Chain A
Amino acid sequence: MAAMVSDQKSALTLKGVSRSFGGIDAVVDVDLVVPSGERRALIGPNGAGKSTLFNLITGEISVDHGQICLYGQDLTEDPVQNRIQLGLGRTYQSSNLFMQMTVQENIFLAAWRRGERSSSKLRTLFRSWKKYPEQCSRAREVAALVGLAEKIDVTASELSHGEHRQLELGITLAHDPKILLLDEPMAGLSANERIFMTDLIMGLRSHITVVIIEHDIETAFRIAGQVSVLHQGRIIAEGSPAQVRANQGVQEIYTLSSETDGEGYA
């Protein structure tokens, strides 16, 4: 009974999740429980399987073994769409945007899917998208939130790298997710952009459950209440930032990886 209750309270539950690619074990027997509203950081050296784990959670890649539950509901075999309906949203490590479209159009597409059921199908085909004030104002609102208010009519391909990352987050937020998977939102950002992004993530409404992959450990520890460390596809440590920082195994991996691969830790 106790297990059932904790399952329902947890937004995301992974049990024994494994996936290998052609004999290489990318994710091995991962158990992960993220309670609703928690900020969880997923850290680990390059190739630890962090992004693969995200792809498994969203259903973009199917699992070999194990179970994935959102709010206690088993969705292991379900397609991406069903998981999104339960409030799952993600950003991508390398910006996955609609490059030939404007900022507003990018965010509109996300906002539209969220409120779409209220409009008729025929109108969706023939009525100008600009005549949907609700979604348009939502798009402007989100653009302002992620700091792109002044770039609203700019084509995505003309934005800077930092702005791409902001738009990446904007698209996901416009979809109003309850569980947010952020795949290295700070990758390649300047110091100032990093501060902006960190504040933005920390300022997200408290009911949103956030799992963030972050290379910079200090940033990860600042944002997250709990940290899970992934190494060679396995979770090797879990706990508060202080506990993880004190963990011998984690220290070893990070000294090792920063010696062999300085870039990843930077």
Chain B
Amino acid sequence: MNGSDPRLIKPVLASVLTVLLLSLPWLTSDYFVMMTIRIMYFGLLTMSLCYLAGELGLVSLMQAAFFGIAGYFVAILQTRYSLPFPIPPLAGIGVAVLAAGLFGLLAIKAKGVYFLMLTLVLGQLVWALASQWASMTKGDSGITGIYAPVLFGFSAEKSKTVFYFFQLFAFSGVVWFLAALKRSPFGLMLRGVRDSETRMAMLGYPVMLLRYLAFIFAALVAAVGGVFFAYFTGLINPHSVSLTANVEALMASILGGINTLFGAVLGTGILKTLDVVLSGVTERYVLVMGVMFLVIIMFAPKGIAGSARQIWEAYKGKMLSFLALGNKTAKP
């Protein structure tokens, strides 16, 4: 039976997902499209964090800084210098990557809790700049009036659907980029560094360079998210580079699971949805979310995607035979 062939599951799921994503604006309401857009750009920030945590075992507290740096540059270059479309986002991402190149020189030397502290300090530095350098960043009130570009005659500012496809395109590109990095020899090398740095050095690998590259790639992913954040919300303020923004992404990655890209998106999706749903129901929604986290950490330490995978691996045989049985009864 076709339904029972495990090799078919991935391509089938991928095609269904592609069709769903491409037809989403016509299937659902504007509100749902808007939520999806939010989940995608915050998802990029979460993925950036998950990439470092999953592949290198390093938890960074400054990914939001790269997210924000890109957003700020889009805002400044567009509102202050009126540069035309492809320049602000490309420059924004470029500057964020450069910043990662600079901060990375310091950060990659540290591990574990020291990496955490160093990235905390560097992240706060960026936050302080955003908040204090008022002549450039307009301080705590932030920069407003950032407009999404017009693409091939379609305005992403006026139409949510156009914006959605614009972002879906970039988002898919980044997902492909990260997925390729993860399954390449480079990906193996990073996990090698995560599992045993001394062994990697003993095999002759440049451990520091590998870490450095991963740090820069992660910043690139966060920066792409930042660009879309600035375009979609039309505003950027110090909150987007803050520790709080970073911790939200961290919570999303714990929720979804750090080891898969899907987990990062799922975690962000759940968090952002709950944010909206629960805050409408009760004022104490933060408390509810806190309890939920406790439950996740205690009973599903690998996150929802990680646990789902474990359950799938354990019951794969049973589920597949169940599906096969279903097929047989459907077609007597």
Contact = CB atoms under 8 A, between A and B. Distances in A.
A97 B204 CA distance: 15
B191 interface: yes
B189 A109 contact: yes
B196 A97 contact: yes
Nearest to A128: B183
A101 B195 contact: yes
A113 B205 CA distance: 7
A175 B184 contact: no
A99 interface: yes
Contacts of A130: 183
Given A125-B184, A125-B186, A127-B184, A80 B202 contact: yes
Contacts of B183: 128-130
A110 B203 contact: yes
A125 B195 contact: no
Classify chain B's interface size: 20 to 34
B109 interface: no
Q: In the complex, which of the residues A110, A123, A175 has the most CB atoms of chain B within 10 Å of its own CB atom? A: A110
B195 A97 contact: yes
B6 interface: no
Given A101-B195, A109-B192, A60 B184 contact: no
Interface of B is mostly: helix
A90 B184 CA distance: 26
Contacts of A190: none
Contacts of A160: none
Contacts of A127: 180, 184-185
Contacts of A101: 188, 191-192, 195
A144 to B, nearest CB: 20
A261 to B, nearest CB: 27
B316 to A, nearest CB: 15
A129 B180 CA distance: 10
B199 A84 contact: no
Given A100-B194, A113-B204, A171 B188 contact: no
B195 A84 contact: no
Interface string B199-225: 111111110000000000000000000
A98 B184 contact: no
Contact of B195 (A81, A98, A110): A98
B198 interface: yes
B181 A125 contact: yes
Nearest to A119: B185
A109 B203 contact: yes
Interface string B154-198: 000000000000000000000000001101111111011011101
B195 A100 contact: yes
A255 interface: no
Nearest to B180: A126
A7 interface: no
Contacts of A58: 202
29 contacts: A60-B198, A60-B201, A81-B204, A81-B206, A89-B202, A90-B202, A96-B196, A97-B196, A98-B192, A98-B196, A99-B195, A100-B194, A101-B195, A105-B188, A108-B185, A108-B188, A109-B189, A109-B200, A109-B203, A112-B189, A124-B184, A124-B186, A125-B181, A126-B184, A128-B184, A129-B183, A129-B185, A130-B183, A171-B203
Given A60-B202, A113-B205, 17 more contacts: A80-B202, A80-B204, A84-B202, A85-B204, A92-B199, A96-B196, A97-B199, A98-B191, A98-B196, A99-B195, A99-B196, A101-B195, A105-B188, A112-B188, A123-B184, A124-B185, A125-B180
**5 nearest CB pairs, A to B:** A98-B195, A84-B204, A126-B180, A129-B185, A96-B199
Interface of A: 58, 60, 80-81, 84-85, 89-90, 92, 96-101, 105, 108-110, 112-113, 123-130, 132, 171, 175
